[in-house]
Amino acid sequence: MKKLRTPDACFNNLPDYDFPPHYTDVYDGEGGTLRMHHIEQGPTDGEVVLCLHGQPTWSFLYRKVIPVLAKAGYRVIAPDLVGFGKSDKPTLRSDYTYSRHVNWLKQWLVNNNLNNVNLLCGDWGGLIGLRLAAAYPDRFARLIPTSTVLPDSEGGVPLEMTEQMYQAYESLPVPVDIRQVWAQFESPGEIHPFLYWRKLCSENKAFRPSHLVEASSVNPIAAQAILDAYNAPFPNESYLAGVRQFPSLLPVMPDDPELATCDMVWRLLRTFSKPVMTVFGDKDAFTIGAEKVFQERIPGANGQPHTMINNVSHFAEEEAGEELAQAVVHFLKQS
């Protein structure tokens, strides 16, 4: 497996991100290894809070959350998924699959011997992290899904709609502006809005990670240095394979075999009785409503202080990181 490693110079002088790096090697599945990066703050003997980012962000997303949790006495760990941040980046889109992402993170979790883990997971961090929690329930103490989903065949598109969905996707023009895509989530039409996002990431050559963070933010991100930091791991197009591929891995197509795996994960989560709290932004057009699914299906969610952060969109960690972190601390202290 061919891979790239973003030059360290790309990460110089990032705002509020001066955390020392830590590295772990994992088997790539093809006879080689990949280096995964993570940051770690707080007391080494503290209870672990594992912060998992999604697409198209990286551990920089948690820079406001980490100090609050660490000050409260928690050992806060935030890895970069393979293809993101300071972790290695396989060069082919076909190198990335949902199962591989799960397996890479499983290895990372076991190699770092993490136990009694409180999982804070957003976007694809939830799609991957919740599969880890189902695979290793004894290693996880609490779950905190934020702005994420976990699809299944129960609430999905009927199988007989498969060909129609593929035809709809092929017929879509490539979106030229990410705000066009965001508008589809805010006011869905006949075509599944996620197909627009998939099309943009796959085929719009001008797409950069900062575009989504900026377009989805309720409150404008004033500092250009912050937007530049989201792009920092990807100095040119050759580094973006993982970012571009992620939306194509989400099992929204009715014939996607990963739906069966997600069904199995949901069967296990329906028996998860340890504490579960959701934290979502009320303006998140991507995932709003998914919080109710977690609350209704997972036994451990009953009676917990589920939090809806006002006037915040998909990346609550960016827009209201301190408020999100305080909600997490309150939950961890009282549950």
Active-site annotation, residues: 123, 284, 314
Q: Using DSSP, state whether 13 is helix, strand or coil.
A: coil
DSSP letters, 175-219, are PSSHHHHHHHHHS--SS-HHHHHHHHHHH-TT--HHHHHHHH-SS
Please provide the distance, in angstroms rounded to a whole number, between the alpha carbons at the two ends of the chain: 44
Give Cβ neighbours of residue 285 (< 8 Å, ≥ 6 apart): 182, 185, 186, 216, 313, 314
DSSP letters, 127-151, are HHHHHHHHH-GGGEEEEEEES----
Phi, psi of 128 (to 5 degrees): -90, -45
- Name residue 325's beta-bridge partners: none
Give Cβ neighbours of residue 103 (< 8 Å, ≥ 6 apart): 29
Q: Is 2 exposed, middle or buried (0-12, 13-18, 19+ CB in 10 A)?
A: exposed
Give Cβ neighbours of residue 55 (< 8 Å, ≥ 6 apart): 84, 123, 124, 201, 243, 246, 247
Give Cβ neighbours of residue 164 (< 8 Å, ≥ 6 apart): none
